[in-house]
């Protein structure tokens, strides 16, 4: 069996999870691994001198465990010959491919993950829109006053700049202000093209 590993990264509240779930419903043999499932417990996350919990850095996550989970998924699918799910509206030619969508805010800045991707997408948002969306969400622990400006946004810019400076990294940047339908349509078509390439 062939596998296709898709990265869906980018800004907080950029629509990654929603897009991943919608793609899963449209693609055959598709699973999702979410980076949010690999956060360390609050007691293990560092606090800076301002009292901010430093969640938006790689050290706040069990990245090795995440890599292991993805590798285990690839191994188990590549060696399996059984396809269970019938595709809903895709052509028959993708039935013999397993697709994994990995979604998270820090996917492409961790070297061991970078050899695993077939496609990388990165959702972006302008500052005002990101801050507005973030303010409507409830987090555990809750964002403290000044947290977005003092930690979340600067870390997003830092990691995004690292990504843009890495010339060897092929990333498809997506405008998170576009409608969900538009984003879904674009990424879905792109993945179908990738699936067709795998079959050639």
* Predicted confidence (pLDDT) per residue in 53-78, tens digit: 999 999 999 999 999 999 999 999 87
Would the pTM count as exceeding 0.75?
Answer: yes
Is position 36 annotated as part of the catalytic site?
yes
Does any domain span residue 12? no
Q: What's the number of domains the chain is made of? A: 1
Q: Which of 31, 36, 172, 175 is catalytic?
A: 36
**Residue 105, domain CATH:** 3.40.50.300
The range of the structural domain enclosing residue 108 comes to: 22-78+95-198
Tell whether 157 is covered by a domain: yes
In a domain, 5, yes or no: no
How far apart are alpha carbons 144 and 22 in whole angstroms? Answer: 31
Tell me if 15 is assigned to some domain. Answer: no
Residue 83 belongs to a domain: no
**In this predicted model, what pLDDT tens digit does every residue of 163-200 receive, in sequence order?**
999 888 899 999 999 999 999 999 999 999 999 888 77
């Amino acid at each position: 069996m062939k596998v296709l590993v898709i990265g869906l990264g980018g800004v907080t509240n950029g629509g990654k999870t929603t897009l991943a779930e919608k793609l899963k419903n449209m693609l055959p043999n598709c699973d999702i691994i979410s980076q949010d499932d690999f956060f360390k417990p609050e007691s293990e996350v560092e606090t800076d001198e301002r009292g901010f919990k430093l969640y938006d850095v790689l050290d706040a996550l069990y990245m090795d465990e995440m890599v292991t989970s993805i590798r285990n998924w690839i191994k188990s699918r590549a060696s399996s010959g059984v396809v269970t799910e019938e595709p809903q509206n895709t052509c028959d030619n993708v039935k013999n491919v397993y697709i994994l969508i990995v979604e998270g805010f820090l996917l492409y800045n961790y070297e061991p993950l970078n050899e695993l991707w077939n496609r990388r997408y990165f959702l972006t948002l302008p500052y005002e829109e990101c801050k507005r969306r973030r303010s409507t969400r409830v987090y555990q622990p809750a964002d403290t006053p000044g947290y977005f400006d003092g930690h979340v946004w600067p870390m997003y810019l830092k990691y995004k700049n690292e990504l843009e400076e890495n010339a060897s990294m092929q990333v498809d940047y997506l405008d998170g202000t576009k409608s969900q339908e538009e984003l879904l349509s674009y990424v879905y078509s792109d993945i179908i093209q990738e699936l067709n390439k795998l079959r050639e």
